[in-house]
Homo-oligomer: A and B are copies of this chain.
């Protein structure tokens, strides 16, 4: 692995665990076993490296979601399968945590990958819920746009609760709760 690749990987790990304001270039260099010169040769600085790192991370997460959402199962089943994906609740979401970082939200280039990931995800779920509604899997009066937002929000909030209580069961409870509400009509 090249120095550049290790720097990117280390940035992804540290941004995930400590956020943007909590991650220093020196910490990234140490984690990657690279010197300052190497980092500033390959990247414009902390910000440039973070933009690349975030872009990679969101692309990975999108691929992972697509693997679950693009199946041949009925639409609602695919949505629920996505809700039920295994998540490291105590670690938090690598993308969601960036949305609460003050220096990320106020910087369009840094925020773009975050925004694009969530826009894509809610839209993807939206279309699946449309399909589920057409085939009678969910109630006709539900607004897929609102429900898809609620689903993504529940996952993100599940991370918040799990970390606040230092107990991953807060995440599973949240997911179980929203799943039960979503499948209520099938009781």
Contact = CB atoms under 8 A, between A and B. Distances in A.
Interface stretch (A32-40, A41-49, A59-67, A100-108): A100-108
Nearest to A159: B100
A71 B34 CA distance: 60
A80 interface: no
Contacts of A98: 164
A160 B17 contact: no
B166 A111 contact: yes
A175 B118 CA distance: 17
A151 to B, nearest CB: 8
Contact of A160 (B153, B164, B175): B153
Interface residues of A, number: 61
Interface string A153-171: 1111111110111100010
Interface of A: 17-19, 21-22, 92, 95-103, 105, 111, 114-115, 117-119, 122, 139, 141-143, 145-161, 163-166, 170, 173-178, 180-182, 184-185, 187
Nearest to A145: B173
Contacts of A95: 164
Contact of A161 (B101, B105, B153, B163): B153
Given A155-B157, A164-B115, A187 B19 contact: no
Top 5 A-B residue pairs of the complex, sorted by shortest distance between their CB atoms? A153-B157, A150-B177, A156-B157, A146-B177, A157-B157
A171 B95 CA distance: 17
